[in-house]
Amino acid sequence: MAAIGNDVFFAAIPQLNERLKAHEFSAEDLARAFASRLEQLGPRYNALALTLLPQAIRKAQEVDKDLKRGRLRGPLQGIPYGVKDLLSFAGQPTTWGAKPYAAQVFDYDATVVEKLAGVGAVLTGKLAMVELAGGGGYRYAAASLTGPGLNPWDRARWSGGSSSGSAAAVAAGLVPFAIGSETSGSIVTPASYCGVTALRPTYGLVSRHGAMALSWTLDKLGPFARSAEDCGLVLETIAGKDGKDPGSAGKSFYYTPQYARPMKDLRIGFASGDFTEGAEAPARAAFQEALRVLRDTGAQLVETKLPQFPYGTVLSVILAAEQGSIFEPLIASGKVDELADQAQIAGLKASQDVAARDYLKAMRVRRLIQEEFSKLFGEVDVLLAPGRSGAATKVAQRLDAGGAAGPAGGAPRFQGIIPAGNLAGLPALVLPCGFAENLPVALQVVGVPFSENALLAIGREFQARTDWHKRRPPGV
């Protein structure tokens, strides 16, 4: 086995791929190194749900045969990765992070796993998650079969939910990239807390076949990685039409940074209040510096307001109704009581009582939200906000405790950008942008449906001017 230096664990995908093609190390060497590291360090962060070392070695050996024969399958060939444990991998447990499903095994691979295998990517493990991706709502970070997600920057802090393992594994250099999911914040939050780049794609762009359903009309799968470029390379592989997913948009994605619009031609809508009184005090300096970097690109930052809707309420009604239907067998069987979080148990039971009229009202308001965002994007090209208002919360902190609301009459803010973006099916790119008390903070850039290339171009330019995405947690 060739020696794998620590720098390899934090290398970008193109660098790893070039070194594989140059035969500096084999795909098997790389797979063994990453899979062993995931086995060893994953439990430190409660990030590992299932090791797949034997399967990874077999796949890597196949990749090595292709590389020796000059059969090149793209930039992900031979690259190790992990998936959130709501994605099926044939013959292996898929627990959905919850005790009632601990022994659940499917006989097929999720579509994204199939697509990644097709280009030679090497799956090294299943990654931890909040039970049932947070369905029903949860009060504590410990709502998981594997325990609370611990942040590689400070294990007294949360790695975020519900894609806790995906974000932590990338941050700690346990995988070069990972697949997570978002229904309302489950990509944006852990990426922001763990200081990694991540992409929530447009609704329907990535097939969810083989993924646990939480909300048929809100669920999305997307990548966590080292950089915006890495996210683009992964999205190009996992996007595309899939008849097995009724929500598939029937569209492909090709990562084309060479066709990006000049930054000076972009109008970026933001609310300054998000970066001042709306942000936690320790994070404000980092956010202000991030705004300066974006202004220096020549982009126009334009004060903007979100359309006025009760985004959180609308999303909550839709999510409750859909999860209530999806998990009806779990609730009816009484096995829902095996979940770790009492608030989540109560929330799932209450979802059985959502009235059809309330669901239909919420869906009608959702359509109005989509129409208003379409108008808003006639005035600006993208929207900009903090990923979260501050750094990661403490592991033991109640998640429903709430944060500072800001003074009455303060500047308008994008307080509802996460539920709004999910209701409208909008893509979002999370970019690390600095630190608050030695913990990462991040921006999120939100665009119109299927504008992922525009978001990635902004991310590339921001990351060409900063090195926050290259920072490593201490001790790894």
Active-site residues: which are they? 84, 162, 186
Residue pair 131/330 in contact (Cβ under 8 Å)? The answer is: no
Q: Is the peptide bond before 164 cis (omega within 30 degrees of 0)?
A: no
Burial class (CB in 10 A: 0-12, 13-18, 19+), 117: middle
Q: Could you give the count of Cα atoms lying within 13 Å of 310 in the half-sphere of its Cβ?
A: 10
Determine how many CB atoms are found less than 10 A away from the CB of residue 43: 14
